[in-house]
A and B are shown apart, each in its own frame.
Chain A
Amino acid sequence: MAERVGSRTDLSQTVFGVTFHSPVLLASGTCGYGQEYADLIPLDDIGGIVTKAVSVEPRVGNPPHRVAETPGGMINAIGLENVGLEVFRNEKLPWLDRALERAQVLVNVVGRSADEYEAVVSGLDAEQGFLGYEINVSCPNVKGGTMFGTDEAVLGGLVRRLRRATERPLVIKLTPNVADVGVFAKICESEGADGLSAINTFPGMVVDIDRRVPLIGNGSGGISGPAILPMGVYATWRVRQSCELPIIGIGGIRNGADAMQYILAGACLVQVGTASFVDPNAAVDVHAGIAAYLERSEVDSLAELVGGLAFPAARK
């Protein structure tokens, strides 16, 4: 668990016009607003954090149970409980601005309508303490009933609107709950997004066979953890085939080897989520694991390996 920052290998990545000194970020929903982890891990030793989702109004979230372990992972249905735009802007963001020097901050944004997404972005855009936005499109669209991220026209319209609302980096967190994630990646690129997070949780359900009801209070939830690692790697590769945007790989990463799968498949940054619940130090260890891989491979710079997967190209 040696700290590799400052060693010979270069893990930094220049993305969205800034330098991430580490490619490892903490995933939205698993690190609160950063403060919760500040006593446990050196946040500036990793590349950055993606905040808990922020909506216009505070949200109270779903009834329990909200989380449970599943084979190879966990299910969650928190219901996007969050403090809302006002408290985030007045209390959480100033803390991030003060506390972090090197770690970058992406603010995860949710809404029930395009208006709500835009209100959050517009409400934060002039503030300090963050780099850009990660847009969570795995939310039900109150108007259409489908999720923003599963309807090509709705997603395109949302990205177009948010693009007009901000010049900051705009990253769309894709849902895997579609036939071909590459199609949705391409739409985001066409509408002016700066990057893509691949991927959000998979929809799932656990049945309590004694009570004959869903175990999770919400009924269904999102599956995360190592169970979805290969699906996330595949989605990353599909997105890489479909567009030129920088990709943040996410889904089931526990160690440097897992992260390298995403990086070779095309991701330039990665996020560690559920693994932080198992070990708060997971993201720091993932960073060290990537550094060890580079040294072992005698590669000086991580950037050389992004998308370095030799895929049998003839089989399309």
Chain B
Amino acid sequence: MVPVRRQAVLRSSRVVARDTWWMEFDCPEIAETSVAGQFAMLGVGLDTAGTWLLPRPFSVGWTGPGGVAGFLVRTFGAGTRAFTRLAVGDEALVLGPLGQPYVLEPGRSIECVAGGVGLAPFIALAASEAAAGRQVRLIYGERNAEAVFDLDLLRELTGHEPEIYTEDGRMGTMGRVLAGLDPAGDALLLGCGPTPMLRALAEFARTNHRDLQVSVEEHMGCGIGTCQGCVVRSSDGRWVKACVEGPVFPADSLDWTTGG
């Protein structure tokens, strides 16, 4: 799983929610070798006259036949906005697969808990694991209905019926994803989403003795461990790099009392 740098052609790009795109690139190395939870640095390279754009980390959302990898991109600022303006046939600079994936146990059920674009890693995971016969729940929360990923496409990609939670209650169940969890359950919990959500999830897991792995988000410079920009605090007080030691960590290995 040595990361590969490549110019990747954009195969398709579609709006799947407000300010949110599903973008599929030709990335055979990522399509063939990535494991759910790993990510790639996506950018437009150095040839963008007048525009400076650091690459951004994105979870590998899905891998398909023909060497295609899909990414879920929500615009937050100028960088992501510029990226979503790429047209089919344009090239992006892709570096991946990177980081540590989710680690599953044979046969054990999983409950994937996603907040916002934290949905991304679970698209691939739900698709492959459900197909392999594992019992999978996909619990997906958004602020409001407009932000929810195109459900027809999500069903098509994952072959799965997601359980939707929205805070405004206009789609799925009103409330937050935690409401969908059984304290007495024994499935492995997998989380990905904003830090406040992950913190609440970690507290739920700790209180109820549930196993939980989370994928964290932090600003990244390089994605390969050289800039040391993307640290999070471990439970034993060290700064650990989200890009190479993560982004997936056992929740109890992180310090949830500080930061974001």
Contact = CB atoms under 8 A, between A and B. Distances in A.
B43 interface: yes
A63 B237 CA distance: 11
A237 to B, nearest CB: 23
B77 to A, nearest CB: 8
Nearest to B54: A69
B220 interface: yes
Interface string A39-62: 110000000000010000000110
A74 B232 CA distance: 20
Interface in A263-284: 274-282
Contact of A78 (B45, B54, B228, B232): B228
A285 interface: yes
A203 interface: no
A256 B66 CA distance: 36
Contacts of B3: 39-40
Contacts of B28: none
Contact of B227 (A29, A65, A69, A279): A29
Contact of A64 (B45, B224, B259): B259
B232 to A, nearest CB: 7
Interface residues of A, number: 40
Interface string B1-15: 011010000000000
A74 B218 CA distance: 15
Interface string B159-198: 0000000000000000000000000000000000000000
A52 B220 CA distance: 17
A32 B232 CA distance: 19
B5 A279 contact: yes
Interface in B53-96: 53-55, 79, 93, 95
B242 to A, nearest CB: 9
A277 B219 contact: no
Interface string B217-260: 01111101111111111000011000000000000000000111
Among B218, B224, B230, the one with the most A-chain Cβ atoms within 10 Å of its Cβ is B224
Given A277-B221, A282-B46, A36 B230 contact: no
Given A63-B259, A66-B219, A67-B221, A81 B226 contact: no
Contacts of B93: 278-279
Contacts of B258: 63
Contacts of A37: 224, 226
B221 A76 contact: yes
A286 B64 CA distance: 35
Nearest to A216: B219
A158 B179 CA distance: 61
Nearest to B260: A64
Contacts of A64: 218-219, 230-232, 259-260
Contacts of B52: 69, 71-73, 225-227, 278
A31 interface: yes
B229 A67 contact: yes
Contacts of B230: 64, 66-67
Nearest to A282: B46
A32 B3 CA distance: 16
Nearest to B41: A277
B228 A61 contact: yes
A205 to B, nearest CB: 15
A52 B228 CA distance: 10
A68 interface: yes
B219 A36 contact: no
The interface centre, meaning the residue of B43, B54, B218, B238 with most chain A CB atoms within 10 A of its CB, is B54
Contacts of B229: 65-67, 76, 78
Interface in B14-39: none
Contact of B54 (A61, A63, A278): A278
Query: Which of B45, B219, B227, B260 neighbours the largest number of chain A CB atoms within 10 Å of its CB?
Result: B227
A30 B223 CA distance: 11
Nearest to A280: B5
A130 B189 CA distance: 48
Interface of B: 2-3, 5, 43, 45-46, 52-55, 79, 93, 95, 218-222, 224-233, 238-239, 258-260
Given A32-B226, A81-B231, A278-B43, 20 more contacts: A30-B222, A30-B226, A36-B225, A40-B5, A61-B239, A63-B233, A63-B239, A64-B218, A64-B231, A64-B260, A65-B229, A67-B221, A69-B79, A76-B221, A78-B229, A254-B46, A276-B222, A278-B46, A278-B93, A279-B43
5 contacts: A52-B226, A66-B230, A78-B227, A81-B231, A278-B45
The 7 A-B pairs with the shortest beta carbon distances in the complex, nearest first, are A67-B229, A32-B226, A66-B229, A67-B221, A36-B226, A277-B222, A69-B54
Interface of A: 29-32, 36-37, 39-40, 52, 60-61, 63-69, 71-74, 76, 78, 81, 225-227, 254-255, 274-282, 285
